[in-house]
Every structure is written in C-alpha cells, then in structure tokens.
Amino acid sequence: MTSSGQSRQTEGDPDLRRRTITWIVGLALVGLIFDGYDLVVYGTLVPVFLRDPSQLGPVDPAQAGALGSYALVGVLVGALMAGSVADIVGRRKVMLTAYAWFSVGMIATAFTGTAGTFGILRFLTGLGVGALVATTGALVAEFAPPGRKNLCNAVTYSGVPLGSLVAALLAILLLPVIGWRGMLLIGGIPLVTLLPLALVRMPESPAWLMSRGRVAEAEQAALRCGIPLAEIASRPSPATAPATDGRPGFGGLFRDYLVPTVLLGLMSAVGLVLVYALNTWLPELMGRAGFSTSGSLSFLLVLNGGAVVGALLASRLADRFGPKKIVAASFGIGAVAIALMTVDLPLAVLLAFVAVVGLGTSGTQILIYGFVATYYRTNVRSAGVAWCAGFGRLGGVGGPLVGGLMVASGLALDSIFYVLAALAVAGVVLTWLVPGTHRGVPRRGERQDASTAAAN
C-alpha cells in the first residue's frame, strides 16, 4: 500500500464517513418516526374510544389516560433493560431487535377487542420502543463527527415528533376510512421495510468495540466507515483505561456521574410529562374549546411540526454554545407559549403559539437526548441515554394520567395550561442545576472522549 493510501486509512475517508453517517442517521430517523407514530397514534384514537363503547367497551377519561400510560411503562422498562444490554452486546443488535419487536406489537394490538388486552399489548410494544429510544442516541453520537453531534442527534430524534405529525395527519385523512385498527397496522410496516434494510446497512459502532477492548475489530470497522483511527484510539477502553474509568453500564454511570444523572433523568421526566400530556390530550382539549374533530387534530399536527423545525434550528446553536443553555432556553420559551394559549387569540396566532409550544416540549426533549448522548464517556453512554429515556418515561407515564385526571375533574382549560407551563419552568431550573461537563474540574474517575469534549 502506498504511503498516501496508508495515510488516507489512518486519517479517515471524509466521503465514506459522510455516506456512513447519512445511512445511520437516515435509518435511525425512520426508526424513530415509527417509534413516535407508535406512541402518539393513541392520542388520535382517544376520542373514538371515549365516544364509541363498541370498540373496546366503555372507556372514561381516567381509563383512557391509564391506557395511554401502559405503553410508556413498557418504554421505561425496555429502555432501562436496553441500557445495560447495549453497553455489553452492542448498539446494533439491540436496535435490530427493537425494530422487529415494536412492529409485531403494533400489528398484534390492532386485533384486540377489549381494553384490558389492548393495555397489555401496548405495554409489550412499549418494551421495543424503549429499547430503540435508549440505544439510538448512543449509536448516532459515536458515528457523528466532532462539532456535529447535537445536530445529528437532533435530526435523528426529530423522528419522534415527525412520527407524531404523521400520526395526526393520517388520522385526519384515513381514520374515518380505515378505523383505529388500520391506524395501528400502519405501525407494523418497519417489519418488512426498515428491518431488512438495517440488517444490511447499519454497522456496529467502532467506539463501542474499542470500549470493549476489541481493538482490531474497532480499527477495521472505523476504516470501513471512514472514521479516523486517531478518533477512536483517543477513547478509553477497558484494555487501556484505569480501573476508575473502565466500569461500563449503570455501575460506572452512577458511580462517576450520580448528581448529573439524577438531574438529567428529572429533566427528561418533566419534558416527557409535557410531551405526552399534550400529545394525548391536546385534540380533546381543543375539541372542548369548540374546535371540530379535524380542527383539533390540526393542533397536534402543528405542535409536532413546530417541534421538528425548532429542534433542528436549536441544535445548531447547541453545537455552538453548548446544549445546556439551549435546553434551558427552550424550556423557558415553551413555558411562555403554553401560558399564552389561555389568551383569546385569532386562530392563526394561536396556531403559531402551538408551534412554539412544540419547540418547548417535544423539541426540548430532542435537545435533551442530544445533551445526554454527548455528556457521558463511551462505555456508559448507552446506559446514560437509557436512563434518560427510561427514567424520563415516568414523566411519560404521568403525562396521559395527569391530563386525564385534570380533564375528568372538570378543571378549567386555562388552569390546565397553567399547570403545564409551571412544569416547563421546573424544567428550566433542573437544566441549570446540571454540572458543567468538560470545561471545569472533571468528576471523580472521569476521563472524557476527545470527540465528546469537542462537542460540548
């Protein structure tokens, strides 16, 4: 091999790396589109279940909230399980299993006939959804080039609100035609499309291989993906790192990052209360405010459209100024916009505020995942993202329940929005309390990846 060829392998191939990250982000994005569709399609079906007892039997608002939460309990369990597993067996295997699992779960749920069976299958489907959400951020962060990690994660996790947007749009267009069972069957499409493609085009992370001491495999994988060898060599592995750096998974996460991990989990929980309270109950709330069924679903469409656009723009700022400041600002903007929804405004202005609410809720959650994925070292990164996604799902579980209880209690519409605005303010406070990552004295036992440090 010529010296120029050796240099090209050692320094990486920018074109090959660009193609690799495009495939990875593309596949991960599509997976999270169906992930978001899976979790949010239920919100578009709630009015059907409340008004038509022939579907699942009589369903009241409190029970509807509980049914919405079963899937999120599954997400919590699946995410926490996947965090440790992905740091041990690899990101790729967990993601491929998750694609198959939640697709089969959606198909099975479409054939249920009782509320009890529906809830059980929603829980089981949630296991696959949680595993996917918990693993995706770690994989993307490990392939993304320095200085683009928050952007790549924002593009990827925008799949969740994009899936929500697709669910709302398809509900407007197709729900009267294909019914709620057809809406759930759509969620099984990845089984015959995304999964086969990912089997061929999704590689294992060289950084994860290096963190497991599989140096030769890591170097070969890096060369195949166009990643400079120096980039993965700078990352500590059990073979090269001191014992205080090498503990993988949740053990290393809670030993070396206890305070920030608790705060990041609470941030995610607050964010997901907002995300799922609004995605589950916004159509019903706007319907009670006097809007038609299709009109109230349009608010859900605008909410998630605002989340996607806002998060992509904010992620560029996060790469430049650091994610902490941008996440705090996004929570704050969301609080103001939610409070302003109580004002009597023209429809166009109200829709604009709903789009900003999307940035301050689902958009903020996208930014949080990017924050977490670039915060931790390699051998605890998947556990960190899993903790954020899993513990945060306590908020996701609470969101539909809190919304259902507020609606069932007859609480005024303005009061409901004020409660949600107060939660967004709590998110601002929690974000500012997270310790600085890499620009001060490192925490005990912490030695950060060079690429992670560059991203923060």
- Domain of 84, CATH number, reads 1.20.1250.20
Please check whether residue 208 lies inside any domain of the structure.
yes
Q: How many CA atoms lie within 13 A of 336 on its CB side?
A: 8
Burial class (CB in 10 A: 0-12, 13-18, 19+), 420: buried
Please check whether residue 445 lies inside any domain of the structure.
yes
Burial class (CB in 10 A: 0-12, 13-18, 19+), 50: middle
Q: Is this model's pTM higher than 0.95 or not?
A: no
Mean pLDDT by 10 residues, the chain (456 residues): 47 80 92 84 83 81 79 83 78 91 93 89 90 84 81 85 81 87 92 93 85 82 81 48 54 85 91 83 73 66 82 85 89 90 79 86 84 81 80 76 79 84 92 69 38 39
Number of domains in the chain: 1
**Contact (CB, 8 A) for 315 and 151:** yes
Please check whether residue 2 lies inside any domain of the structure.
no
Position 384 scores a pLDDT of 85
Please check whether residue 6 lies inside any domain of the structure.
no
Please check whether residue 391 lies inside any domain of the structure.
yes
Cα(183)–Cα(189) distance, integer angstroms: 11
Alpha helices in 12-148 (DSSP H): 14-51, 53-56, 61-89, 91-109, 115-143
What letters, b where the CB count within 10 A reaches 16 and e where it falls short, cover 123-141? bbbbbbbbbbbbbbbbbbb
Please check whether residue 3 lies inside any domain of the structure.
no
Q: Domain residues for 132?
A: 11-455
Phi-psi bin for 226: left (phi > 0), alpha (psi -120 to 50), beta?
left
Please check whether residue 17 lies inside any domain of the structure.
yes
Please check whether residue 199 lies inside any domain of the structure.
yes
